[in-house]
């Protein structure tokens, strides 16, 4: 398979601050490529350079062989963009919004009408198309936001955190929609800070932090980064800095991070560590309420690579 | 090009669905035209009972005084006219020109002489041509009075001569009763000189704008000229909103060019302005009976030019203001300044000369004065300079806006 999006040594600065710092990846035609990273990692900035909203300060991006540096219009024609914000006109109806965005991509007449009807169907909002978008729930707005990006059946769909702030039902609908679109042959670049979404959807994943890609591959390849390690999730009432230090000092503990009421520990063999772990916590007055050993996931990969949690 | 029209249509739809925009752009001007146009009364045609007139008696003989007494002593005339007797003919003429007086009668210095000689007399009746009905009443009163007075005077003269001849007594008795009083010696004079209506020379003075145009028409021009610019504020609001809500970024990610986006938004504001102007033009005609003048084409062209200027101003506002708050502060202040110096509130002739530099860059100035000129009878050719000025200002505002506009 040929790659349809090529990002090469991409650099984007805002003043002195380097938001994207030498990022390279390529997306094969027909795949769903995930860009996973915490808030501020540089995902939106990366997507914005691909969609020609921001000009790169270094490196290059090509889409379908067209460079964002020299052939902006050709790049834009290949792309559908679903922005992180709900970029719709609240006082226009869903149908009017979709018709507008369809026209902006050159659709008209019967083709436009069909595209709008199909998109409404995909969003599951065909019977509410005449309602103003401002009356919609958050989830419905998100669905129309996505529908507006696919009217012209782009070759590549860029989706920037399309599920932020919505109910689980709408989220599932959206994830299914992405699968459906991909099934019809659309290449998707999907960014998120929810590892479950990326695990569920993506063929290949790049993990991004502080403007850099810190790991890339299929889900299994990424899991292999943490090797045969176990993840120990401990629910505790509180963890002091001192306790965290002591836990990290336990032989066999590779990494340890805490969130508000939990401690996550990465270890090659949980059996030898569990006893000492509980003893250390209890002796320092951190009361353990539950403990579980799990398979590593992208969260643990991120933890392993950065020493912090994705959700911080 | 297609994108440009798509964006223009969307823009016009979005603004037209904004209730506040409709309130400010349509309801406010209509309300203000009504309030200002009626509260300050009207100097237009067909109105009130108190017509301001003046008499200047320059007659060196006795007859002029008889005229004055006759006109001022009549109760019927007092109900209709507010008669001022003055000595200063120049001031009275100026007042008619300014519209402070509806009409005036100026009695020449040689009146007695002419009448005595039986020659046609030359009374000067001047009237504000913008108040033809009120002025016309005055003219007919003077004519009637002249005919009556002539008859009386000649009768008196004949009688006096006869009495003098008969008894050698002094003249004056019957004359003292004046021409307004009907009771008098009813001797039919032996011959009447052609002392009738044609004897009164009615000189129409070309009075100025504010004198000719009724208050309601004046404010229809003034407020329309002002409020047509308000479309720019909502156009700028829309730009800021699109920047904040990322629809602008989304548009930029489509193949549409920046030029199409900016141009489309400007044309959207223009479309709103054209719609607004249509409503105000027809609304003031139908609701308030405003007479916009003979040349509808000229008025429409001026209105269209100002709607274009509003589109240009929208770009400047969008470039200067980063938020709706700041634009909501800048826009009304700028528009008010343009409007106040441009004649929306007070005729520009009455404003001090040092405001001229602001006036020439105010699209409102050229618009309002253009509208008023057309109401006064100007044609398309007459207002071409106004249209050119409005378009030039609009183009400058557009260019500045596009130059400074930020998309992110
Ligand atoms: N226009 C901008 N000006 C300055 N800093 C910016 C701008 N856009 C993004 N940033 C900064 O760049 C970093 C990456 O932002 P972003 O790409 O939005 O991250 P993500 O989408 O992964 O949350 C953040 O630290 C953000 O504050
Ligand atoms: Mg983002």
- The whole-number pLDDT of residue B165 equals 66
CA-CA distance, B258 to A200, in Å (whole number)? 38
Task: Report pLDDT digits (tens) over B258-281.
Answer: 999 999 999 999 999 999 999 999
CA-CA distance, A80 to A87, in Å (whole number)? 13
Which is higher by pLDDT, B146 or A33? A33
- From residue A112, give the alpha-carbon distance in Å to each of A25, A100, A104, B9, B144: 34, 10, 11, 16, 79
B209 has a pLDDT exceeding 80: no
Mean pLDDT of chain B: 82
Contact of B97 with B210, CB cutoff 8 Å: no
Backbone φ and ψ for B385, nearest 5 degrees, come out as -60, -40
Which ligand 1 atom lies nearest to the CA of residue A160?
Answer: 21
Q: Any idea which of B62-71, B295-304, B361-370 has the lowest mean pLDDT?
A: B62-71
**Cβ pairs bridging A and B (under 8 Å):** 60
Backbone φ and ψ for B194, nearest 5 degrees, come out as -70, 75
Q: What is the mean pLDDT of residues B54-75?
A: 82
- The whole-number pLDDT of residue A61 equals 97
B10 has a pLDDT exceeding 70: yes
* DSSP one-letter code for B353: G
Q: Give A106's contacts in chain B (Cβ within 8 Å).
A: 2, 255
Contact of B317 with B330, CB cutoff 8 Å: yes
CA-CA distance, B239 to B49, in Å (whole number)? 54
Confidence class for position A34, pLDDT limits 50, 70, 90: very high
- From residue B115, give the alpha-carbon distance in Å to each of B67, B140, B170: 12, 20, 19
A257 has a pLDDT exceeding 90: no
Q: Do A83 and B246 lie within an 8 Å CB cutoff?
A: yes
Q: In chain B, where does the domain assigned CATH 3.40.1710.10 lie?
A: 51-160
Q: Which residues of A touch B (CB under 8 A)?
A: 48, 51-53, 73, 76-77, 79, 81, 83-89, 91-92, 96, 100-101, 103-106, 108, 148
Confidence class for position A217, pLDDT limits 50, 70, 90: very high
Query: CB neighbours of A9 closer than 8 A, spacing ≥ 6?
Result: A22, A23, A24, A58, A59, A60
Contact of A229 with A267, CB cutoff 8 Å: yes
Residue A83 CB–ligand 1 contact under 6 Å: no
| Global ipTM | 0.87
Among the listed residues B334, B338, B340, B311, the one whose alpha carbon sits nearest the alpha carbon of residue B234: B311
For A160-185, b where at least 16 C-beta lie within 10 A, e where not — what string?
Answer: bbbbeebeeebbebbbebbeebbeee
Strands (E) located in chain A: 3-14, 17-28, 32-36, 58-63, 66-67, 79-82, 156-160, 187-192, 204-209, 212-217, 230-236, 255-259, 262-267, 288-294
Furthest CA-CA distance within chain B: 113
CA-CA distance, B153 to B232, in Å (whole number)? 69
Query: Residue B408 class from Cβ within 10 Å (0-12 exposed, 13-18 middle, 19+ buried)?
Result: exposed
B186 has a pLDDT exceeding 50: no
Q: What is the mean pLDDT of residues B386-399?
A: 97
Please give the CATH topology (third level) of the domain spanning B51-160.
abc type-2 transporter like fold (3.40.1710)
Task: Report pLDDT digits (tens) over B18-31.
Answer: 999 999 999 999 99
A114 has a pLDDT exceeding 70: yes
Task: Report pLDDT digits (tens) over B108-130.
Answer: 888 888 777 777 777 788 877 66
What sign has the CA pseudo-torsion B399, B400, B403, B408?
Answer: negative
Quickly list H helices, A26-137. 43-50, 72-78, 94-104, 109-123
Q: How far is the CA of B259 from the centre of ligand 2 (A)?
A: 28
Query: CB neighbours of A113 closer than 8 A, spacing ≥ 6?
Result: none
Counted residue by residue, chain A has a size of 312
Complete DSSP assignment for B82-127: EEEEES-HHHHHHHHHHTS-SEEEEE-TTHHHHHHHTPPP-EEEEE
CA-CA distance, A52 to B252, in Å (whole number)? 8
What sign has the CA pseudo-torsion B318, B322, B328, B333?
Answer: negative
Task: Report pLDDT digits (tens) over A49-63.
Answer: 999 999 999 999 999
Query: CB neighbours of B62 closer than 8 A, spacing ≥ 6?
Result: B112, B175
Choose one of A45, A51, A208 to mutate for the ligand 1 pocket test, by most ligand atoms within 8 angstroms of C-beta: A45
- The whole-number pLDDT of residue B168 equals 52
Nearest residue of B to residue A154, measured between CA atoms: B254
Between CA B259 and CA B266, with CA B262 as vertex, the angle to 5 degrees is 130
Q: How far is the CA of B170 from the centre of ligand 2 (A)?
A: 113
């Amino acid at each position: 398979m040929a790659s349809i999006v090529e990002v090469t040594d991409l650099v984007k600065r805002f003043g002195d601050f380097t938001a994207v710092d030498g990022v390279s990846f390529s997306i094969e035609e027909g795949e769903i490529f995930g860009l996973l990273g915490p808030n501020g990692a540089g995902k939106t900035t990366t997507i914005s350079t691909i969609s020609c909203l921001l000009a790169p300060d270094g490196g290059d991006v090509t889409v379908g062989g067209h460079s964002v540096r020299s052939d902006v219009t050709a790049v834009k024609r290949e792309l559908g963009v679903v922005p992180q914000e709900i970029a719709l006109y609240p006082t226009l109806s869903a149908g009017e919004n979709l018709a507008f965005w369809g026209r902006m991509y050159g659709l008209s007449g019967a083709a436009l009408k069909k595209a709008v009807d199909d998109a409404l169907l995909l969003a599951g909002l065909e019977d509410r198309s005449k309602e103003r978008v401002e009356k919609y729930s958050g989830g419905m707005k998100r669905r129309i936001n996505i529908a507006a990006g696919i009217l012209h059946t782009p070759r590549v769909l860029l989706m920037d955190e399309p599920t932020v702030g919505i109910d689980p039902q709408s989220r599932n609908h959206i994830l299914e929609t992405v699968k459906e679109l991909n099934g019809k042959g659309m290449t998707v670049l999907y960014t998120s800070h929810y590892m479950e979404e990326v695990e569920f959807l993506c063929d290949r994943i790049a993990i991004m932090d502080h403007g850099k890609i810190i790991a890339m591959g299929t889900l299994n390849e990424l899991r292999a980064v943490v090797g045969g390690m176990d993840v120990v999730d401990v629910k505790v009432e509180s963890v002091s800095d001192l306790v965290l230090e002591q836990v990290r000092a336990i032989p066999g503990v590779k990494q340890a991070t805490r969130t508000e009421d939990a401690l996550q520990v990465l270890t090659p063999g949980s059996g030898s560590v569990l006893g000492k772990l509980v003893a250390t916590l209890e002796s320092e007055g951190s009361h353990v309420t539950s403990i579980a050993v799990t398979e590593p996931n992208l969260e643990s990969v991120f933890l392993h690579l950065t020493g912090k949690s994705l959700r911080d | 090009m297609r994108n440009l029209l798509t964006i223009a249509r969307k823009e016009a739809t979005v603004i037209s669905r904004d209730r506040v925009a409709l309130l400010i752009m349509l309801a406010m001007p209509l309300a203000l035209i009504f309030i200002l146009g009626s509260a300050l009364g009207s100097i237009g045609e067909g109105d009130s009972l108190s017509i301001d007139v003046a008499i200047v008696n320059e007659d060196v003989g006795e007859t002029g005084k008889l005229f004055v007494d006759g006109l001022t002593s009549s109760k019927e005339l007092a109900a209709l006219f507010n008669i001022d007797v003055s000595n200063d003919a120049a001031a009275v003429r100026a007042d008619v020109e300014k519209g402070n007086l509806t009409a005036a009668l100026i009695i020449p210095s040689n009146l007695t002489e002419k009448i005595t000689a039986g020659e046609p007399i030359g009374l000067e009746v001047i009237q504000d041509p913008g108040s033809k009905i009120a002025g016309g009443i005055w003219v007919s009163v003077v004519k009637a009075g002249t005919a009556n007075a002539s008859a009386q005077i000649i009768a008196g003269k004949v009688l006096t001569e006869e009495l003098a001849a008969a008894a050698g007594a002094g003249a004056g008795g019957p004359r003292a009763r004046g021409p307004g009083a009907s009771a008098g010696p009813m001797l039919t004079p032996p011959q009447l000189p052609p002392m009738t209506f044609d004897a009164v020379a009615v000189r129409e003075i070309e009075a100025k704008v504010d004198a000719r145009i009724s208050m309601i028409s004046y404010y229809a021009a003034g407020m329309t000229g002002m409020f047509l610019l308000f479309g720019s504020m909502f156009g700028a609001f829309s730009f800021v909103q699109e920047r904040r809500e990322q629809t602008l970024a989304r548009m930029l990610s489509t193949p549409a060019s920046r030029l199409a986006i900016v141009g489309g938004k400007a044309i959207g504001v223009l479309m709103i302005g054209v719609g607004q102007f249509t409503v105000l033009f027809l609304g003031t005609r139908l609701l308030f009976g405003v007479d916009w003048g003979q040349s509808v084409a000229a008025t429409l062209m001026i209105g269209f030019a100002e709607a274009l200027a509003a589109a240009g101003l929208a770009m400047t506002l969008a470039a200067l203001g980063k938020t709706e708050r700041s634009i909501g502060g800048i826009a009304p202040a700028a528009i008010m300044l343009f409007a106040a110096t441009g004649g929306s509130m007070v005729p520009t002739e009455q404003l001090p000369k040092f405001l001229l530099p602001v006036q020439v860059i105010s699209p409102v100035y050229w618009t309002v004065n253009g509208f008023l000129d057309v109401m006064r009878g100007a044609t398309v050719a007459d207002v071409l300079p106004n249209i050119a000025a409005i378009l030039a200002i609009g183009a400058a505002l557009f260019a500045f806006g596009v130059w400074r506009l930020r998309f992110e």
